[in-house]
Chains A and B, each alone.
Chain A
Amino acid sequence: MTSAALLAPLWQPFADNQFLRHALLASGLVAVICAVAGTYVVLRGLSFVGDALAHGVIPGIAISLLLGVPGFVGAVVGAGVMMYGVTAITSRTRLSSDTAVGLLFVGMLSLGVIVTSRSASFVGDITRILFGELLGVTTGDLVWQVSVLIVVALIAFVGHRPFVLMSLDDGLARTSGFSVRLFHRLMLVMVALAIVGSFQLVGTLLVLGLVIAPAATGALVARRVGSMMTVAACCGLVSSYVGLLVSYHFDVAAGASIVFVAVYLFVVVAVVTIPRRKLGHREIPHQHEHRH
């Protein structure tokens, strides 16, 4: 058997099936969107708020499906409501914010299920919302994802300096002349957009995995924010490709396979880099010795 024939399972499925090519293109776009937004989510420790946003979009999508309008319209509205709720909770309530945000997100999740249960195709709809529909990506969806990518990249370009300052300390951003309130909201908008742009592929339950796992892998190995984002994008792209192949050859769920590969990559990199990070401290005196 020639090497081309041996390697065929790695590319043939994409050559043969347009729906797989669309899925690969869409998950590649989403990998870049999530790498950009996810980097700041991980740096600023917003994972839980991101999770809340991902669940907050469910009632919006459910209502859209009932009304027969595109799911992302409802997702945008749902994310807006959730962002308002999260901001109100974190600025006003006396409850610890993780408790209040947690309550808000299960509240939104249950509302989503209630709304969906009115639909004639309840099981199909709820499955699509929670676990995505990666193999049904249309050209229209791709256009939507490119638009989301442009806006997310624009927000990251404008907000990069305040975002980095805020990931170190809010006070530092404020005393450097940047409005923490404004840029925190801008960051939430970016995270919400990343979720709204990606949920269709892997579903609202798993979308946070795409946002966080590649960025967390980047944080393990990178020494600069730019390289963290690049590593995150590469991890996302590799996860998309490998996940789709696994899904095709073993006939398992596509979205979940991608997220699983992304998380698996994180675990492998974490295990490989643990010794280096633990030794990091002890290496400092050696460096001095070499230099002098």
Chain B
Amino acid sequence: MKSIFKPISRRNFLKAGLKGGAIAATLPVWRLFSFAEPPADFYVNPAVNLSRETLEMLLKAALGHGGEFAEVYVEYTVTNRISLEEDKIYGAGRGVDMGVGIRVLHGEKTGYAYSDDFSLDKLKQTADVAGLIAAAKDIRQPVGLKPSSIPSYYMVKVSPDTIIPEDKAKLLWKANSVGRAYDKRINQVNVGFVDINKKITIANSEGIWAEDFQTITRLAVSIDAIEGEKRSSGYYYKDGTLGYEHYDPKLAEELAREAGRMAIAMLPAEDAPAGEYPIVMAKGHCGTFFHEAIGHSLESDGIRKKTSCFWDKKGEMIASEITSLADDGTVKGARGSVNVDDEGTPGQNTILIENGKCVNFLYDRLNAKLMKANLTGNGRRQSYQHYPIPRMTNTYLLAGKDDPEEILKSVKKGMYIARIGGGNVSWVTGRFVFDVSEGYMIENGKITKPLKGIQLMGSGPEVLKNIVMVGPDLEIKGGGTCGKDGQAKPVSDGNPTLKVSKITIGGARV
């Protein structure tokens, strides 16, 4: 099962999003023959700076049993966290992950081994173990490494790792005081700031040699409200491949207000009715739906293995004519953006569905090779402990032409989905389920009472045909951590206002 993590008591913290979200319309500025460098004062254990000679030696060792392709992935990641709850800074934390993963491909076979020990002997042994997957007489030699040119899709001026935790704490305090003052029914305010600072090096036997420095930041506010027997929660966040210059107390205030607004709005919510209804999805906050319900089924591993419900649908109409879907790793500053993916392929914008027709899939290197397709920059992995698999980056439904007001007016009785929470999908049947964190009844074209416990249930192939109206107001806001095959990866998503003519709603009453 693939799912957007639904963290349990800290649910709202893991869901993360990106505010604003104009999509970069211009071509990226290519910085030829230079690596994305970590900031000068970011400490990297010098052991991870493997020399060209060492990388080439490891690639050679990895091919020593006759493998067709070898790759070395080196990672050094620092994660900083600070959180506030119950009017106190709960704690500050820091983590360091460092290691080398070595992969050898041979036909459809993958050999993988990793090590967190950087001694030359240990690395050589790791390369040898990964190479064992192949047992061929013909030994290939790796091509000499050439530094790759790296595009730049991150928006980082100030590295968050260089900011002392006391400064980050000021953001948390601001959000806390604004959140608590928002309404007297507010009971708890939790605020957290996390930054991930990751230096990766990818070198492969075809001569690719790429380095990237990735920064992902997130400020999240979660608020609980209580009134008599009634309870509710609200949350909001900003995140992305963004430097610390994007965070200030004013932003913290905005996030806290929005989280407070949602908690108070949902306090009087009534049980949702079950059954089939039309729904309207709010712009920006429901993109997870497309990531989950459709995106996973368009990842090339399931296509190649013929286990995805869309495996034989390329070139066919799989959606209504107004439906176009993209996976775009080049959105400036978005959480899922990649200068290069975890195989050294530059991030790309890939149209998956064009006016209803299935036109492409998402590829990593292995599946692209086996399926004779072009790379799309979607070979991603959680860490050096994992081999890459096809994964989404920033996935969104493209803008349409319908007036958002008309979309709402067209629904006599249905639901307005203001924010989608977590969800999951079976890629075999395409069946999905989502919980809705903020939802309302629509009666005669107007948003009326708030509803709790709404679940959206359906299947990707079915729902795609029921997308009947799409607005022009695309926003890429929602983002989070996607789980697949035991690997967690940051992604984001987006959508314009849209209408689905019919979907199964789960609720507590008939």
Whether chains A and B associate is: no
Binding site for A on B (CB under 8 A): none
